[in-house]
Amino acid sequence: MAKVTRQMAEKTGVNVDELVELLVKNAAAELTTFYYYTILRVNLIGLQGEGVKEIAETARIEDRNHFEALVPRIYELDGKLPQDMKAFHDLSACPLKRMYQTLWRSVLPHRTAAWPARWTETRG
């Protein structure tokens, strides 16, 4: 099935290798943001956090749905996702350290704990 779909796309003039690469990068970004929104949602507490929690949950579900829609398309075009989760994350263009810093310092100012050491040690 994948080869037939790929051939049909190629007949229309689409560069399928480039398309699959873009779809994989997009899937990585969707899964990564789903992960980050999940972290954000569980850290929103108190009355002020309740309104933002609903927004974060909506965005989280939307990103998960996008990821789940992209994966079959990738495989239908005879592509595949990376086996290594870190390599997959790195395709997302969502720097780990910067995202955590943004969540910790901006969105979660009510947290009084020190900056977690494990986040300082991540690449950035």
With beta carbons less than 8 A apart as the criterion, state whether 81 and 87 touch. Answer: no
Q: Residue 70 belongs to a domain with what CATH number?
A: 1.20.1260.10
Q: What pTM does this model have?
A: 0.73
Rounded mean pLDDT of 25-29? 95
104 confidence band (pLDDT: 50, 70, 90)? low
Q: What angle do CA 116, 118, 120 make, to 5 degrees?
A: 80
Alpha-carbon distance of 90 to 32, in angstroms, equals 9
pLDDT at residue 118 greater than cutoff 60: no
Q: How many domains does the chain have?
A: 1
Range of the domain at 9: 2-120
